[in-house]
Structure 1
Amino acid sequence: MPAGRHSLGGVATSVNFDRIAHDYDATRGGEERGRHVADALAPHLPDGLLLEIGVGTGLVAQAFAARGRRLLGVDLSERMLARARERVPGRLARADASALPLPADSVDACVAVHVLHLVGDPEGVFTELARVLRPGGRLATVGAGEIAERSDVGDVMERLRAALRLGGPRHATAETLRASAARHGLRLVEDFHFPREERGALTPAQVGAQIEGRVWSHLWDLTDAEWATVVEPALDALRRLPDPDRPRPGRRRSRALLFDLDATMPAGG
C-alpha cells in the first residue's frame, strides 16, 4: 500500500481503504503479491499464532494460510474485510491496530505489510503490538518499495513521492520505525530487501492515468493547491517524455524489518 495519512482537525487518523476495495487487488499486485511477501517473511517468523494488522483483502493472509499458518487478521475497512473473508474465512475482525481485541501475550508473530505509514497513532500501534506479542515474539514490517530497474517514468514518480513527503509525516521510514519499536521493547534483528511481484510494464500515459484517478492513498487528501504545485508538474513531466507509447520497466523491491520483543522489558517501554 502506498503511503498516506489523513487528518481531521489537525489530528492524524488512520486511512480507511473502503473507497478502493473494489479495485485494490488489481492495482496492488493481486495474489502474486501475497505469495511474494509470504515467501520472503515466512522463514524468519516463529511457529504459532500469526497476526496481520491491516490485513486488507487478505492477499498476504491467504498466502500464509496456504502454508498451514494459523492466523488472525484485523483491518479498519469493512469492504476490504468482506473480500478477505472469501480468502481466509473465520479468521478476521474489524479493529484498529491501536486497540487490538486480543489478550496480552497471545500471538507469536505479527506482520504489518505496507500499513504502518497509514496509521494515525503509530506509538499506540507499537504499544498494542508489544502487549499482544508473547515474550520473544517477532514483528515483521514491510515498507515502501524501491526501484530495482530505473526508467524515466520511475524517476518522475520518485520525484513526486519525494515532493509529497515534504508536506508532512506521510512516510514511516525505517529509522522512525526502528526508534518507535525500540521504545516499546522491540529490537531490530534483521533488515533485508526482497523482490516485489512482477507487474506489467506501463507507459507514461498509463502511469499518468493512475495518478489522475488517485489510485494511491497518498493522493486522496491533497488540497487543490498541493495538487497544482506538486502533482501537476509530475503529470506534465510524464506527458513530455519521449516514446509515450513504449512501456517502461516497473520492477521494484521491498524492505523488510524484523523485530524481536525483549522479554526483559515491560510492554510499552
Structure 2
Amino acid sequence: MLDYDSEVDRYDATRGGEPRAAAAADAVLGLLPEGAGRLLDVACGTGIVTRRLAAGRPGLRVTGADLAHEMARYAAARLPGVVVRADSRRLPFPDGAFDAVTSVWLLHLIDSPEDVRAVVNECARVLRPGGAYLTTVDKAAAHDVGSDIDAVLAPRPSQPAPDAADTVAAYAAACGLVPAGQARFPGVGQGRSPRSTAADLRRGWFTTLTPGSALAERIATGLTMLPDQERQRPDPVFTLQAFRKG
C-alpha cells in the first residue's frame, strides 16, 4: 500500500485536486438525508473533500478521521478541531453517534476481506438508526474506460476487488444496512495517459503486476508504443453507494 505519510504534500495535486474533490462532495451531499446533523468522514485524507462537505450544507457538523499521521495533520489544518487520528476498523466513537458516515476511496485499499468487513461494521456501529452510510465501490473498475491503454493492460492478472459492490452490500446487510440509492461522479483530471500509466506500473501501483517482472515490462513497453503519450484518456467515473441503517 502507498505510504500516505510521505505522499501527503503531493497527494491532492496528483489526484484531480479541487475539481475532483468538488465532484465527490457534490455526490455525497446529493445522497445525504435531509436533516442530517453529524457526519463522520472516515479516511478523510487531506480533508479536501471533508472541507467541502462541512461547507456544503448549513448546520452539518463534520468530523474527519484518518489513520495516517501526516494526512490527519494536513486535514486538521484545513478543519481545525474536528479531525482525529483513528483506525477505521476501531473507531473511537460511541454507538449511534452520527447521522451519516462516509468512506470515500477507502475500501479498495484494504487487502483483507476481514478488515473490509470490520470497517463496514464500525461505520454501521457509530451510525444512528435511520442514518446513512455512503461509500465508493468498484473503484478499480472505474478506471477501465475502454481506451487503448486498457487494451494494453488487458493481460494483467485479475483478483477479486475488496470494494466490489456485491461484496460491500453483503457486509452492509450483515450490519443491518439496506441499499438507499446510488450516485456516479467523474474522477476529474484522473484520466490515464500512456506515459503516466507506464510510470505507475513501474513503481508498483498495479497490485497484480510486479515491477520488473517479464509481464510488467512487456505491458510497459506496449504502453510506450501508444500514440499521444501525454494525452489523458477519459476520466474514470466512480460509484457512490448509499445504505440506510434500519
TM-score of the pair, normalised by structure 1: 0.78
| Aligned position for 1:250 | 234
RMSD: 2.5
- 3-state SS of paired residue (2:46): coil
Matches within 5 A, 1:144-223: 144=139, 146-147=142-143, 150-157=146-153, 159=154, 163=157, 165-166=158-159, 169-199=160-190, 203-214=193-204, 216=205, 218-219=206-207
SS of the residue 1:210 aligns to = helix
What is the alpha-carbon distance in structure 1 between the residues aligned to residue 196 and residue 107 of structure 2? Answer: 28
Cα distance, 1:117–1:245 mapped onto 2, change above 3 Å: closer
Contact conserved, 1:75 with 1:97, CA < 8 A, in 2? yes
Q: Deviations over 1:139-160 (max 9, x none)?
A: 0111316258542124334x37
Report the counterpart of residue 105 of structure 1 in structure 2.
Answer: 96
Greater relative contact order structure (CA < 8 Å, 6+ sep): 1
- Relative distance call for 1:203 and 1:34 in structure 2 (3 A) is closer
Q: Secondary structure at the match of 2:12?
A: helix
Structure 1 residue identity aligned to 2:217: E
CA contact (8 A) 1:21 1:79 kept: yes
The structure-2 alpha-carbon separation of the partners of 1:92 and 1:246, relative to structure 1 and needing over 3 Å to count, comes to closer
TM-score, length-scaled by structure 2: 0.85
Identity %: 33
Size of the aligned set, in residue pairs, is 237
1:74 aligns with 2:65: yes
CA contact (8 A) 1:154 1:250 kept: no
Residue matched to 1:11? none
Assess, with a 3 A threshold, how the Cα gap between structure 1 residues 125 and 246 changes in structure 2: closer, same or farther. Answer: closer
Aligned to 2:221: 236
The 5 Å alignment of 1:13-162 reads 17-46=4-33, 47-67=36-56, 68=58, 69-119=60-110, 120=112, 121-143=115-137, 144=139, 146-147=142-143, 150-157=146-153, 159=154
